[in-house]
Chains A and B, each alone.
Chain A
Amino acid sequence: MARYDRAITVFSPDGHLFQVEYALEAVRKGTLAVGVRGKDCVVLGVEKKAAAKLQDPRTMRKIHMLDEHVCLAFAGLTADARVLVNKARVECQSHRLTLDEPASVEHITRYVAGVQQKYTQSGGVRPFGISTLIVGFDADGVPKLYQTDPSGTFSAWKANATGRNSKTVREWLEKNYEEAEGDDAVTLAVKALLEVVEAGGKNIDVAVMTKEGLNFVKQEKLEEIIKAVEAEAEEKKKTGGASGSA
């Protein structure tokens, strides 16, 4: 009879939880996810993994709706994300059922982070190999962006990135972030993504969460935004080069 009482995540002599750190490595290998908080919206952008020829790309969603007002994007193991997203969805409805009001974004984040932490302190299980970006609007109408990671910590952010090359993107955001409205926030998120992702509407997916709900940015509009961003970058290069040579 197998016994599941042996912990997999145990402390190392110098106080590290290696399993959690390895999980963070798995996250670093996952495709990029970016979250940007605007004045009246929150934008989630993800790098789309190249779909195989025979694969239907519509079934490879990285942005998941948890409830009418909360949405999650992740970086890391897709299957682990599926499990956490499912648990979070049940928690959203359970909260609505017992309290007759939508769960706050913080409540859901706390719940997801709590689940992730539980799996670092339970027998026979390994930590989830994903970091999540949870976005949404509370009843107060203020946009929120939170991040959780495999250790179970969570915090609120104005803008953040997770997954491969996230450090570069985060540094870019630290330099260039400003609280924008509507389309400007979307442009900011796209710019952040394009720092490390190959330009092209097929490679990125962007969704905007407003008070009214979640909307995926359509392919055509995305291409437009990318063109505009690229044109702006070209302009900067030209003027930068001219002033340099003068």
Chain B
Amino acid sequence: LLRARGCSARRRHAIMSSAECCFGAAFKDFVLVAADKSQIFSIIVQKTDEDKVSVIDDDKLLACVGPTGDRENFTGYVGKNLALYKFRNGMKLSTRAAGNFIRSELATALRKGPYQVNMLLGGCDEGVGPELYWFDYLAAMHKVKYAAHGYAANFCLSLLDKHYREDMSVDEAMDLMDMCFAQIRNRLVVSPPNFLVKIVDKDGCRLLAHRDERTVVH
């Protein structure tokens, strides 16, 4: 499984991808993870329906923003390794263990050819409950109640600080997400027009909502 490493175009992409955003929050019974859906190259919007929240296991979501190559490569790599573990051992990895695996892969690659991905891992294990982990491209990992990546974090974190409560219902949590989307659209000079929200709970992962403002016409 070879990866072609480093070049200036990728660095440019990495800078552009701070316009991408993902954020999420872990509640008492579920985790919500949201990400934008824009796929941009230089000044061109290629797609407005890109799914950046990958389902890496039956009960784990990995929201990932960064250059598309790194994003797809890394989330695919993580997902397939989680599947391999499942077939080898007859059981899934816990969210915490998966998080540590992700962090370990990021750290190993860091001083060779880093994955320029910023991520949020949301999972719901039986007996443990919903958990959210925050990763950045320098291989830091933190377990958090809520977190965000990208310029949008400037707005989302303030809103989450003010309004987040652990015992929110799904509808209340979606209202909170909508508040965040509203401010991103309001205040960010080049804000992504479209977002999606996925949920993990004891029944697994599923798409919860799209929030589309503008789509690329084909």
Contacts and interface: CB of A to CB of B under 8 A. Distances in A.
Interface residues of A, number: 13
Contact of A94 (B1, B87, B88): B1
B168 to A, nearest CB: 35
Interface residues of B, number: 9
Interface stretch (A22-30, A85-93, A151-159, A162-170): A85-93
Contacts of B83: 67, 93, 96
B80 A86 contact: no
Contact of A66 (B76, B81, B87): B87
A66 B80 CA distance: 13
A96 B83 CA distance: 10
A65 B87 CA distance: 7
Interface string A62-97: 000111000000000000000000100110111011
The A interface, classified by DSSP as helix, strand, loop or mixed, is: helix
A97 B88 contact: no
Contacts, number: 25
B77 interface: yes
A66 B81 CA distance: 13
Contacts of B77: 97
A216 B80 CA distance: 24
Interface string A87-121: 00110111011101000000000000000000000
B207 interface: no
Nearest to B82: A93
B76 A97 contact: yes
A96 B80 contact: yes
Interface of B: 1, 76-77, 80-81, 83-84, 87-88
Given A65-B87, A100-B76, 17 more contacts: A66-B87, A86-B88, A89-B84, A89-B87, A89-B88, A92-B87, A93-B80, A93-B81, A93-B83, A93-B84, A93-B87, A94-B1, A94-B80, A96-B80, A97-B1, A97-B76, A97-B80
